[in-house]
């Protein structure tokens, strides 16, 4: 075993550090004050020798790290410093004081050097021990807030699962989707279900129809899955019948055209569309029934006179022209009296004398058709009703085309039927091609040639808002021209003015 150097002067060896001293709790161990209590020096071989000597009652060898360890008799009490230990501790304290004095001396020397060099002496700021304030915990606040939010969310969620409604006069809370059907189940209202019925309405099975009929806030509801809102008012009544399944065949229902009223003006009302009827054959009963599934939109040809109020207006009309002599004479008399009129022309006449028609149109008179040739042929020259539907349409369209060509544009679609013959079948056939059919209130019967005075007297019998019938073609119309020369000035003196049919149609119907 190598010999360790002995230290008889109780001085620390150079490699021991500064002033080791025994700990109060264990005199056999050294303690470094600069390293803290937790740092301990490693054991030396002399430690074990001390322990062995103590056990055998012999003196321990000298330790190179301090004075020889004194033998201590353990008496069961906590160990205390012995006189040697206290002496050794005092020696260590003196050494520490000497080292600190040396350190202060060196610091003062450094300050003097800085002063001679012109530098300000370093000042040491006393360090203050600042104890941080304890942080208040936010955990209770966060937990409280979370509890409140959760409670509100639960309240809203539970409230959203149900609504309060009035069912047949009683307040009911409805959950389960808040539907009409749920309200029926929650209310316990007693109503009778409908029946399963055949296509002809006879009962096949009682109570197999709809469970109930419902209305929400006064409006009938067919979908029982309709969602209710708070304060809705729901009414339940007996359920409706359910019709058996069937095979159906659809057929059109032709619209009708009829005339209503009386008067000189005949104007169409209505769309004129066909309806639908369905023939059903029940899959359970085998029965057959025909029902109307879509009503037709019928047409009414309204006959009426106009209410002109205080206006003293009348409409002069002329048929069967134009003619080179009499139509020109009529236009001259009208111009002299500042009168407007409506001409119902024949297409074949227009084609031979388009300039006269054009003159009339340029003077502000209304140009309409009276058919192409006054229903000659199968119409016997007087009645479109004797003709086929195709012939009727051709008569009207050809007459309109002649007028349009003469004036260089579209003319009025008002129409006068030959002889005034305009039955419901003709009304229906011609409805897509004309806007109205014009009759008359005063028939001068000038075509009979009763004399100019007679014709003039009939003209003077007119009332405000009425239509006067005259002719400018179809024969000798010299009496008509003369009658106009007599009547128009007198009518003007009575305060009358003369307007076209289109202008007359702007007045309301007389009640």
User: What is the residue-wise DSSP string for 176-230?
Assistant: TTSBHHHHHHHHT-------EE-TTS-EEETT-S-SEEEEETTEEE--TTPBP-T
Query: Phi-psi category of 414—alpha, beta or left, where left has phi over 0 and alpha has psi -120 to 50?
Result: beta
Q: How many residues does the chain have?
A: 511
Q: Which of 50, 319, 320, 446 is catalytic?
A: 319
Determine how β-strand 163-167 pairs with β-strand 170-174: antiparallel
Strand, coil or helix: what is 314?
A: strand
Determine whether 348 is exposed, middle or buried from the number of CB atoms within 10 Å of its CB (0-12, 13-18, 19+).
middle
CB–CB of 279/248 below 8 Å? yes
Nearest-angstrom CA–CA distance, 30 and 50: 14
CB–CB of 13/65 below 8 Å? yes
The alpha carbon of 335 is separated from its chain's Cα centroid by a whole number of angstroms, namely 62
- Would you give the DSSP letter of residue 58? P
370 is catalytic: no
User: Residues near 174 by Cβ (< 8 Å), separated by ≥ 6?
Assistant: 162, 163, 164, 165, 182, 183, 186, 228
232 is catalytic: no
CB–CB of 365/341 below 8 Å? yes
Residues with a catalytic annotation lie at 319, 471
């Amino acid at each position: 075993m190598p010999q360790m150097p002995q230290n008889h002067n109780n001085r620390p060896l150079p490699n021991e550090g500064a002033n080791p001293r025994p700990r109060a709790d264990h005199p056999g161990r050294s303690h470094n004050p600069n390293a803290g209590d937790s740092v301990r020096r490693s054991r030396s071989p002399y430690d074990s020798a001390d322990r062995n000597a103590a056990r055998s009652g012999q003196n321990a060898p000298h330790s190179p790290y301090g004075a020889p360890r004194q033998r201590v008799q353990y008496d069961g009490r906590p160990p205390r410093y012995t006189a040697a230990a206290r002496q050794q501790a005092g020696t260590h304290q003196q050494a520490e004081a000497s080292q600190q004095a040396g350190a202060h001396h060196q610091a003062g020397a450094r300050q003097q050097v800085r002063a001679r060099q012109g530098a300000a002496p370093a000042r040491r700021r006393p360090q203050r021990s600042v104890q941080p304030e304890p942080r208040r915990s936010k955990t209770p606040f966060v937990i409280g807030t979370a509890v409140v939010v959760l409670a509100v969310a639960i309240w809203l969620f539970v409230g959203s699962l149900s609504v309060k409604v009035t069912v047949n006069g009683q307040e009911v809370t409805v959950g389960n989707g808040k539907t009409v059907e749920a309200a029926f189940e929650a209310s316990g209202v007693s109503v009778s279900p409908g029946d399963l019925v055949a296509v002809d309405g006879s009962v096949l099975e009682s109570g197999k129809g709809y469970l109930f009929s419902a209305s929400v806030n006064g409006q009938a509801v067919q979908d029982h899955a309709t969602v209710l809102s708070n304060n809705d008012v729901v009414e339940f009544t007996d359920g409706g019948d359910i019709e058996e399944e069937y095979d159906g065949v659809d057929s059109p229902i032709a619209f009708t055209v009829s005339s209503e009223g009386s008067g000189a003006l005949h104007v169409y009302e209505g769309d004129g569309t066909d309806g639908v009827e369905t023939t059903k054959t029940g899959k359970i009963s085998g029965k057959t029934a025909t029902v109307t599934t879509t009503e037709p939109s019928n047409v009414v040809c309204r006959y009426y006179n106009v209410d002109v109020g205080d206006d003293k207006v009348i409409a002069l009309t002329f048929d069967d022209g134009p003619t080179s002599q009499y139509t020109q004479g009529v236009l001259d008399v009208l111009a002299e009296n500042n009168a407007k009129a409506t001409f119902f022309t024949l297409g074949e006449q227009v084609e031979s004398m388009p300039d006269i028609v054009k003159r009339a149109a340029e003077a502000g008179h209304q140009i309409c058709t009276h058919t192409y040739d006054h229903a000659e042929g199968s119409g016997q020259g007087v009645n479109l009703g004797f003709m086929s539907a195709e012939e009727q349409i051709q008569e009207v369209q050809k007459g309109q085309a002649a007028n349009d060509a003469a004036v260089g544009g579209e003319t009025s679609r008002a129409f006068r039927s030959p002889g005034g013959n305009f039955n419901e079948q003709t009304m229906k056939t011609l409805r897509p091609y004309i806007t109205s059919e014009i009759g008359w209130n005063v028939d001068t019967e000038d075509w009979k040639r009763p004399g100019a005075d007679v014709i003039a007297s009939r003209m003077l019998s007119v009332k405000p808002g009425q239509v006067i019938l005259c002719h400018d073609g179809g024969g000798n119309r010299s009496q008509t021209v003369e009658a106009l020369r007599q009547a128009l000035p007198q009518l003007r003196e009575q305060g009358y003015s003369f307007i076209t049919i289109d202008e007359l149609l702007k007045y309301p119907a007389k009640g």
